[in-house]
């Protein structure tokens, strides 16, 4: 579904992403891990259109995404969450979802006026369902900036899902969460997959990555050093070296 | 009586100016261009009634069209500059417009007298209301109908998705873009709408004051325009109205006894206000508190 | 044929005169750019303070018959004091990332200073002693105005002293450190507030000199000069690249020359329109100016 074709992203002399080849199959939950600075977030930004690749191409559902802005890519089915939550703080929870729920086929087929006004009971029901799913139903009128940290993360996820994407990129969604919250997140990711969404999960929290992904790729200094199932990766010495800097005594 | 009518007219016109800047501020664009759009509206409307001798409504319509059109064109290069640089660019635009009108000469002879904009001498004899027998209070009502309509329109759009989208862009453009909002369309639309409202204000101003001088359309006016929504806060349109009432009513007119020292006080007050409440007088916290106290209906119930 | 050469001489004369006068714009531009470089904010009252200082210098001349050097000195000190006052009231207490509030506050300061000047002078323009106004060199077909040369030389000296302070003294080092990384600078024990106020004061000294220079070259001081000077100063800073001193210098000279050529061809009424249009062109096509550092400070 998503093909990252020998993508490179250089910032001056720094090779944040270096000739990376990656493929995510439809319906997968694909993990991306690596030490800090290995290029994970840069890659996410390239896939989503925030950064332009220095070389290489991002192919989604058979079509190249070259030159497309983030909002166009969203319309084509790619959504993302941000590592450092970027909610619309001055808008309420409801409004955050309201604003995001605008780019899918069924909405776009409505008349322009309906879309702009965002009115209609169908839309209202949909947003309510999303709020239920994210456990935020009672916080609908709270300003996003006033939410607790865990609630903000849930809203960030809900907002990305609001656009009914087919591919969802999660950028370190578990950062700062306690064990209970991570378990909850794991559940939520699984049910998203059941809804038919393919997921690319960038993460540091191993509990989550090992628990929920089908396959994992490991990055270091912008290139892929390993790829395989969670078990394979755990046993892989190159990966251990990358993280720990020396081989384990065992 | 006339004195008070004049004051009410000024408040109305400045409210429109403030709302014009308000729309842009919502999307995060700090614009000093409103004075320029205001001037364009004023001169266009005056030319329509004085030189073409058409009705006031067509003059207003023409003013809104021309100002809106220019604003639309300004909107695109404005996308390339951010923050402070946008302030500088819009300031430059307003100055350019002012200098343009300073040089504009279009004299026509009517009934033996010369009329029309006369370059540095300004544009006098905009006598539509007088010539057509409008009474002063009728002009005031006419003017305020427009103000009320614009306020209602903006208030209403704030209850719909339009308002949320505008504010989302103002909050975080990157997030807005990644959430599927076409930020370009939103920002240019806001600039255009701001231009239309400012043009409307200008057209009303020209006919109310009957005499245009390029000295009106300066940085000072642009600053007033942006000061109103900043002081009044961006939560809703009434903040802007209250700010206009406060500044025009209290400061400019109420302190008339201070004579020319008013401007000193005005300058000092701006400084004080910015230090104490940099987010405006009616920011989100105040509004939310008021809402709770008054038990105002929540937004989504109106969907 | 002779007419063509005549034109060439006239135009190049305009350019030359403009370049000399442009040194005043360069100084004002440096002032704006210094403050932007240090704090990322725009001080809209800067040109007003510069002219305010010039008025103070004029007062010195009128009241105590101060000699030339003292007039410039008084202007410099007066503007430095004004600069510090503006820093204290409009920048010091407002949160670092709130550019808008400081901008608005400095606009308030602009109104304030302007009004004080209007009141004190009752709004009428005052003659400023022109320095070396009657000196006039001839160089072939060109005439060189002594007062413009004088102004240019003062500009050169001031810039030289400024660069010396910035790059060869500890004060200058601290200023540059704060400009680049104010949190790290604080951790190194550099007082950000005191450094910033010094930056404002230094910019003020330049501004006062520039204000006096402008008044001397034009021969007149009047409150209506405030807005055009503000606009031109900002334009110069932008074209040169906000935060870049060499940029401001080159841009100032360029704008001076450009403006004068336009004056020659299109007259005074249209002259400023072209300068503003020039700003537009730069903002749209080269928003970083000639030597811009980071522009995205929003």
C13-17, C64-68, C182-186, C191-195: least confidently modelled range: C182-186
ipTM above 0.90, yes or no: no
Domain boundaries defined on chain B: 2-227
Q: Domain for residue C295, yes or no?
A: no
- Among A109, A139, A163, the domain boundary falls at A163
From first to last of its 303 residues, chain B has per-residue pLDDT tens of 777 888 889 999 999 999 999 999 898 888 899 999 999 999 999 888 888 888 888 899 999 999 999 999 999 888 888 777 788 888 889 989 998 888 888 877 777 777 777 777 777 777 777 777 788 888 889 999 999 999 999 999 888 888 889 998 988 888 888 888 889 999 999 999 999 999 999 999 998 888 888 888 888 889 889 888 877 878 888 889 988 988 887 776 666 676 667 778 778 887 887 787 665 555 555 444 444 444 444 443 333
Q: How far is CA B119 from the centre of its chain?
A: 24
**Closest chain C residue to the Cα of B28, Cα to Cα:** C298
How does pLDDT run across C106-158, given as a tens digit for each residue?
888 988 998 888 888 887 888 887 776 667 777 777 777 777 777 788 888 88
CATH code of the domain in which A246 resides? 3.40.50.300
Q: Domain for residue C153, yes or no?
A: yes
Which residue did the predictor score with more confidence, C274 or B129?
C274
How does pLDDT run across A4-29, given as a tens digit for each residue?
878 888 887 788 888 888 888 888 89
Query: Residue A156 forms beta bridges with which residues?
Result: none
Confidence at residue A170, expressed as pLDDT on a 0 to 100 scale: 92
Q: How far is CA C179 from the centre of its chain?
A: 20
Burial of A181: CB neighbours in 10 Å, binned 0-12, 13-18, 19+: middle
Q: Does A158 touch chain B (CB under 8 A)?
A: no
3-class DSSP state for residue B265? helix
Confidence at residue B284, expressed as pLDDT on a 0 to 100 scale: 55
User: Helices C99-121 & B83-102, crossing angle to 10 degrees?
Assistant: 40
Residues on chain C touching B173 (C-beta within 8 angstroms): none
d(C-alpha B233, C-alpha C100), whole Å: 13
**Closest chain B residue to the Cα of A89, Cα to Cα:** B171
Residues on chain C touching B80 (C-beta within 8 angstroms): 283-284, 287
Q: Domain for residue C297, yes or no?
A: no
Q: Structural domain of residue C206, as residue ranges?
A: 2-285
Residues in CB range of C263: below 8 A, 6 or more apart = C14, C271
Q: Does B284 touch chain A (CB under 8 A)?
A: yes
Whether pTM exceeds 0.95: no
Q: Contact partners of A by the rule of 3+ C-beta pairs under 8 A?
A: B
Confidence at residue A229, expressed as pLDDT on a 0 to 100 scale: 85
Statement to judge: residues A93 and A201 lie in one domain: no
Confidence at residue B198, expressed as pLDDT on a 0 to 100 scale: 96
Residues on chain B touching A116 (C-beta within 8 angstroms): 160-162
Are A71 and B165 a contacting pair at CB < 8 A?
A: no
Statement to judge: residues A21 and A62 lie in one domain: yes
- Among A163, A182, A210, the domain boundary falls at A163
Are C42 and B220 a contacting pair at CB < 8 A?
A: no
Are B81 and C101 a contacting pair at CB < 8 A?
A: no
Q: Domain for residue A83, yes or no?
A: no
Statement to judge: residues A70 and A136 lie in one domain: no
Q: Is the pLDDT of residue C90 over 60?
A: yes
The pLDDT confidence band at residue C83, using thresholds 50, 70 and 90, is: very high
Q: Is the pLDDT of residue A40 over 60?
A: yes
Burial of B79: CB neighbours in 10 Å, binned 0-12, 13-18, 19+: middle
Q: Which range scores top for mean pLDDT: A230-239, B78-87, B252-261, C247-256?
A: C247-256
Q: Looking at CA atoms only, how far is residue A88 from chain B in angstroms?
A: 6
Mean local confidence (pLDDT), C4-29: 84
CATH code of the domain in which C129 resides? 1.10.3470
* Domain count within chain A: 2
Q: Domain for residue C291, yes or no?
A: no
d(C-alpha C241, C-alpha C230), whole Å: 16
Q: Structural domain of residue A125, as residue ranges?
A: 88-163
Cα–Cα nearest to C130, from C213, C62, C26, C27: C213
Statement to judge: residues A69 and A179 lie in one domain: yes
Which residue did the predictor score with more confidence, C171 or C44?
C44
Which residue in A74, A94, A143 is closest to B179 by CB distance?
Answer: A74
* Domain count within chain C: 1
Q: Does B285 touch chain A (CB under 8 A)?
A: no
Confidence at residue A107, expressed as pLDDT on a 0 to 100 scale: 60
């Amino acid at each position: 579904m998503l093909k990252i074709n020998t993508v490179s992203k250089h910032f001056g002399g720094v090779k944040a992403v270096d000739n990376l080849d990656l493929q995510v199959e439809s319906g997968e939950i694909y993990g991306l891990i690596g030490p800090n600075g290995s290029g994970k977030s840069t890659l996410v930004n390239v896939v989503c259109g925030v950064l332009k690749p220095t070389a290489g191409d991002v192919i989604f559902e058979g079509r190249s995404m070259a030159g497309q802005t983030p909002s166009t890519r969203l319309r084509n089915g790619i959504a993302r969450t941000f590592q450092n939550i970027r909610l619309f703080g001055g808008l309420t929870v409801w409004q955050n979802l309201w604003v995001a729920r605008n780019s899918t086929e069924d909405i776009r087929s409505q008349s322009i006026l309906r879309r702009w006004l965002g009115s209609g009971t169908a839309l209202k029901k949909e947003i309510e369902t999303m709020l239920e799913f994210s456990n935020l139903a009672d916080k609908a009128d709270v300003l996003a900036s006033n939410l607790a940290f865990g609630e903000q993360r849930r809203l960030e996820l809900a907002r990305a899902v609001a656009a009914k994407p087919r591919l969802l990129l999660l950028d370190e969604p578990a950062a700062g969460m306690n064990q209970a919250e991570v378990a909850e997140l794991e559940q939520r990711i699984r049910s998203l997959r059941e809804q038919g969404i393919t997921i690319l999960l960038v993460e540091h929290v191993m509990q989550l990555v090992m628990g929920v992904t089908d396959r994992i790729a490991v990055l270091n200094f912008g290139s892929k050093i390993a790829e395989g199932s969670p078990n394979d990766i755990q046993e892989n010495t190159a990966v251990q070296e990358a993280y720990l800097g020396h081989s384990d005594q065992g | 009586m006339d004195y008070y009518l004049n004051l009410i007219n000024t408040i109305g016109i400045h409210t429109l100016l403030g709302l014009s800047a308000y729309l842009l501020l919502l999307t995060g664009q700090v614009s000093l261009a409103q004075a320029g759009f205001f001037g364009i509206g004023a001169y266009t409307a005056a030319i329509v009634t004085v030189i073409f001798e058409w009705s006031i409504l067509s003059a207003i319509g023409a003013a809104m069209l021309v100002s809106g059109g220019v604003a639309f064109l300004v909107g695109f290069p404005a996308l390339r500059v951010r923050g402070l640089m946008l302030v500088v660019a819009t300031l430059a635009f307003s100055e350019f417009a002012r200098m343009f009108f300073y040089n504009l000469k279009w004299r026509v002879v009517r009934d033996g007298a010369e009329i029309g904009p006369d370059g540095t001498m300004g544009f006098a004899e905009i006598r539509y209301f007088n010539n057509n027998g409008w009474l002063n209070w009728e002009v005031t009502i006419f003017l305020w109908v427009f103000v009320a309509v614009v306020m209602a329109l903006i208030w209403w759009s704030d209850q719909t998705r339009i308002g949320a989208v505008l504010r989302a862009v103002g909050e975080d453009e990157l997030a807005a873009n990644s959430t599927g909002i076409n930020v370009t369309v939103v920002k240019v639309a806001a600039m255009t709408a701001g231009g239309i409202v400012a043009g409307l204000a200008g057209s009303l101003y020209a006919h109310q004051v009957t005499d245009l001088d390029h000295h009106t359309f300066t940085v000072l006016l642009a600053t007033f325009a942006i000061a109103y929504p900043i002081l009044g806060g961006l939560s809703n349109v009434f903040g802007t109205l209250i700010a206009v009432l406060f500044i025009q009513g209290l400061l400019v007119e109420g302190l008339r006894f201070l004579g020319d020292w008013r401007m000193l006080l005005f300058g000092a007050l701006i400084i004080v206000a910015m230090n104490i409440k940099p987010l405006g007088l009616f920011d989100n916290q105040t509004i939310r508190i008021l809402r709770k106290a008054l038990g105002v209906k929540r937004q989504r119930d109106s969907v | 044929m002779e007419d063509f050469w005549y034109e060439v001489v006239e135009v190049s004369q305009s350019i030359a005169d403009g370049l000399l006068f442009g040194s005043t714009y360069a100084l004002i531009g440096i002032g704006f750019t210094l403050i932007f470089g240090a704090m990322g904010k725009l001080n809209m009252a800067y040109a007003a303070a510069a002219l305010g200082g010039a008025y103070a210098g004029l007062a010195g001349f009128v009241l105590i018959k101060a000699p030339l050097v003292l007039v410039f000195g008084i202007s410099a000190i007066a503007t430095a004091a004004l600069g510090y006052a503006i820093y204290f009231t409009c920048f010091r207490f407002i949160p670092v990332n709130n550019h808008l509030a400081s901008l608005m506050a400095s606009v308030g300061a602009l109104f304030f200073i302007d009004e004080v000047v209007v009141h004190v002078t009752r709004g009428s323009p005052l003659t400023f002693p022109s320095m070396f106004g009657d000196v006039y060199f001839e160089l072939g077909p060109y005439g060189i105005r002594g007062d413009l040369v004088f102004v240019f030389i003062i500009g050169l000296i001031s810039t030289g002293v400024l660069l010396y302070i910035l790059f060869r003294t500890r004060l200058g080092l601290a200023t540059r450190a704060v400009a680049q990384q104010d949190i790290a600078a604080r951790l190194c024990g550099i007082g950000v507030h005191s450094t910033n106020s010094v930056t404002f004061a230094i910019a003020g000294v330049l501004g006062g000199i520039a204000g006096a220079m402008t008044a001397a070259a034009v021969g007149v001081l009047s409150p209506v000069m405030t807005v055009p000077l503000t606009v031109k100063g900002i334009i110069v800073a932008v074209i040169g690249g906000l935060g870049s001193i060499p940029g401001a210098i080159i841009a100032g000279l360029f704008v001076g020359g450009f403006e004068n050529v336009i004056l020659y061809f299109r007259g005074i009424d249209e002259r400023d329109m072209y300068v503003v249009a020039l700003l537009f062109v730069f903002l749209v096509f080269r928003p970083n100016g000639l030597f811009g550092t980071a522009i995205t400070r929003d």
